[in-house]
Structure 1
Amino acid sequence: MNNELWNSILKFDLDNPPSEYGFSTRLANENYWTNDFTAVAILEYKKFMYLAATSNFMVSPSEIVDTVWHQHLIFTQSYQEFCTLIGKQVQHIPSTHNKEDFDKFKQAKERTKKLYSESFGEQSNIFWEYSGMYESLNLKKATIKLRTFLVFGILVFIALILPSYSLLKPIYLQIHNPNFVLLFISLIIIVFIGLELINRYYIKKILLSSDSQSFIYKLEPYELVYLKTQKLTNVINGFVNELIDNKALKINADNTIRVVNTSKTKVKPKTITALATRKKTLLNTKEAIETIRVSKEIGKSFYPVLAKQLVNKPIYENVSNCMDAFKKYFNKSVKFGYLFYINFAVLASILLLGFIRLVMGISRDKPVTQIFITTVFLLIAIIYYLNRLTKLVCIQTLPEMYKKDILPTRDIENNWQWNYFLMGPAVLTTAFVPLVNYVENNNNNSSSNSSCGSSCGSSCGSSCSSCGGCGD
């Protein structure tokens, strides 16, 4: 192996020059990839390009590596500099899907695997066998969409009203109020508790059937924060708080935020401590760079203004985009579909029992207030519960897996980001909490952040205080 060449390839920064929508950010956003998956995909691309540079024969990328390659070809200057570095102009040769090409690319794929093994070890299935990030979940896509099923289910519910009425009427005549209502409410409670336990167990089982190297086991703290809370502002709050803790941003006496001149606080290499190292690492992250850039751009401002600017930045948008894409992919699977169908059928059956009782009471001119209220509340609870079920893998199952199964095996001591995921706002800087609360209250009241930021003055201040070939 040519270590000198490989080290040069490793050091090549595809994000140079840095920009708001640079190479890795664009790659992640356009493919709905997580930060870790994007970084490793780029590394695998560099390995492939090393093989292309050092081999006299055609080599073939995986679909994921090819995706990175296509992206790099668009960044023409960077790609030209990279080819100059490796000493070879690596041409992208698309497949024409004829027999000759098929045999050629098959041989190239086998050759690539052999060369890869000789230089880097065994290929990762995640990046060399799957066509996309989400395939590692091992989930087959359902043929029936949830919305289609819901429409069908509602029609079936309506069709069952008359036969159910005829079947249940003799039984219901033997049960008088308030006994029926009490029994009905008890049944509802038991059913919801039972479904919740079954849903949590089954969804975790689905996740555990994923590839052991799947991206879901390599999520970053802030991606989990978004999953758990479904709010991108909580992710931004965490990054801004870290920058305040590390003296990159400062909260002024009037509750405005400004950028601190960090050049004056640089630490000499010989005196770097663990804390200083973490600070240096933080300040070099794309999120920190973008946050500080935006802060400098808007100048001294109130936090709602800064938060509103950051929430639309690609580096932050990708957190929500890839996690939302994960939820959609999961919910469109056959396995989740079966679970949803069962929940709907059970809950609809319970609702049917109450609805028939209500119809009977009305037809017999009996008091129906209690059963009417109970049935209406049940309907609302069912709508809420089924909607929550589509989010359960995000807001409960995956975060709990990290808390109980994954993080205990990792060294996360003194890692603020993981503490933020585990404990939430409790770890935020004291002076920052009122500013966060103001943003939250402002959002809950559907108020405009810009109106606060532009007309705050002291009033807001006081409120805040509270390559080689490609076989496509």
Structure 2
Amino acid sequence: MRKASGLPADTLDHPIWSALSRYSIGPQDAALPFAARLARENGWSRAEAERVIEEYKRFCFLAVTAGHPVTPSDQVDQAWHLHLTYSRDYWERFCPEVLGRALHHGPTAGGSDEQHRYFTQYAETLRSYERVFGPPPADLWPDAARRLNEDHKARRVHPRDAIIVSRKLVPIALLLAVLSVLALGVLLLRS
């Protein structure tokens, strides 16, 4: 039976879920709170960052209760990476007081065996998520083929290292570039 929150009663009543629901990452008096930092570092709105944090909490719940290794979605992994940088909060408060155990992040060693293992783990994570929380939001938890396909992996680009143009603006940017080259050509021919 699901309660008004949309979660099954046994999940809502679980002590780890209760602790996760009350938990806020990082110092509460920070000028740049965790959600704002997560949004800024990933180019997300604050609302999107808050959604990712909620999914991160669900992932952590599965990590300690599912009974099998779990693999996060890309966005959830970004929240986890950032949380790990709050090392005192993560290791001294979150793991012992909220989860009741250490939760280590292990990157892939690479290769086809690892790819297969992570594909299988991620697919099992999605099945466990659905059993516990219902269908995962597809924009934050894509299917395993999309999540782990090399062509769809996220690439991190920092604005200080590149010029970022929205796909919607690419045709306009190309037109402006062509017009600039033509104008330069006309100026050179006149001189």
Does TM, scored on the shorter chain, surpass 0.5? yes
Alignment of 1:317-396 (within 5 A): none
**Secondary structure of 2:102's match?**
coil
Report the Cα offset of residue 23 of structure 1.
1.5
C-alpha distance in structure 1 between counterparts of 2:41 and 2:47, whole Å: 15
1:64 counterpart = 2:90: no
2:95 maps to amino acid:
C
Question: Hey, what's the Cα distance between the residues in 2 that align with 1:99 and 1:158?
Answer: 51
SS at match of 1:91: coil
Q: Name the CA shift for 1:97/1:142 in 2 (closer, same or farther; >3 Å).
A: farther
- Distance in 2 (alpha carbons) for counterparts of 1:142 and 1:155: 22
Give deviations 1:324-374, integer Å, cap 9, x for gaps.
xxxxxxxxxxxxxxxxxxxxxxxxxxxxxxxxxxxxxxxxxxxxxxxxxxx
Whole-angstrom distance in 1 between the partners of 2:180 and 2:87: 54
Aligned to 1:152: 178
Instruction: Kindly provide the amino acid, as one letter, of the partner of residue 151 in structure 1.
Output: A
Q: Could you tell me how far 1:157 is from its partner in structure 2?
A: 7.0
Aligned 1:245-284 pairs, distance under 5 A: none
**CA 1:36–1:158: 2 relative to 1, 3 Å:** closer
Give the whole-Å Cα distance in 2 for the aligned partners of 1:25 and 1:51: 25
Mapped to 2, the partners of 1:17 and 1:157 lie a distance apart of 55
Alignment check: 8 A CA contact 1:41 1:64 kept: yes
Q: For structure 1, which runs of at least 5 residues remain unmatched after alignment?
A: 133-139, 161-472
Q: Which residue number in structure 2 is paired with residue 127 of structure 1? A: 140
In the aligned structure 2, how far is the partner of 1:21 from the partner of 1:66?
A: 20
1:82 alignment partner in structure 2? 94
TM-score normalised according to structure 2 size: 0.70
Specify whether residues 104 and 13 from structure 1 end up closer, same or farther in structure 2 by C-alpha distance, changes over 3 A only: same
User: Match for residue 129 of structure 2?
Assistant: 116
TM-score by length of 1: 0.30
- Residue 50 (structure 1) aligned with residue 45 (structure 2): no
CA distance in 2, matches of 1:4, 1:64: 25
Report the Cα offset of residue 156 of structure 1.
Answer: 4.7
* Matched positions, count: 153
Pairwise CA distance, 1:62: 0.3
Structure-2 change in CA distance of 1:145 and 1:87 (3 Å) = same
Q: Map of 1:407-426 to 2, 5 A cutoff?
A: none
Q: If each structure's helix is expressed as a fraction of its own residues, which one has the higher value?
A: 1
Residue identity matched to 1:31: N
Offset at residue 148 of structure 1 (A)? 4.5
Trace 1:230-241 onto structure 2 (pairs within 5 A). none
Question: 1:145 Cα deviation (Å)?
Answer: 6.7
- Per the TM alignment, residue 146 of structure 1 is displaced from its structure 2 partner at its CA by 4.1
> What residue is the counterpart of 2:120 in the other structure?
107
Structure 2 CA distance, aligned partners of 1:17 and 1:54?
28
Q: What's the counterpart of residue 159 of structure 2?
A: none
Q: Match for residue 22 of structure 1?
A: 33
1:8 matched to 2:34? The reply is no
> 1:6 & 1:157 partners in 2: Cα distance?
63
Contact 2:95/2:103 (<8 A) preserved: yes
Counterpart secondary structure, 1:94: coil
Which structure 2 residue ranges, 5 or more long, are not aligned? 1-9, 148-152, 155-165, 187-191
The answer (yes or no) to whether the contact 1:60–1:109 under 8 Å persists in 2 is: yes
1:154–1:96: structure 2 CA closer, same or farther, 3 Å change rule? same
Return closer, same or farther for 1:154/1:74 CA change in 2, 3 Å cut-off: closer
Cα gap change, 1:58/1:153 in structure 2, threshold over 3 Å: closer, same or farther? Answer: same
Letter of the 1:127 counterpart = L
**CA shift for structure 1 position 57:** 1.5
SS in 2 for 1:113: helix
d(CA) in 1 for partners of 2:36 and 2:169? 33
Quote the offset at 1:98 in angstroms: 0.7
Contact 2:17 2:61 in 1 (8 A): yes
Equivalent position amino acid for 1:119 in 2 = V
Can you list the C-alpha shifts for 1:36-77, whole angstroms capped at 9, x where unaligned? 111110000000000001123210000000000000000012
Secondary structure of the 2:139 match is helix
1:34 aligns with 2:45: yes
8 Å contact 1:14–1:78 — kept in the other structure? yes
Bigger mean CA deviation after superposition, 46-55 or 10-19:
10-19
How far apart are residue 117 of structure 1 and its match?
0.4
Secondary structure of the structure 1 residue equivalent to 2:131: helix
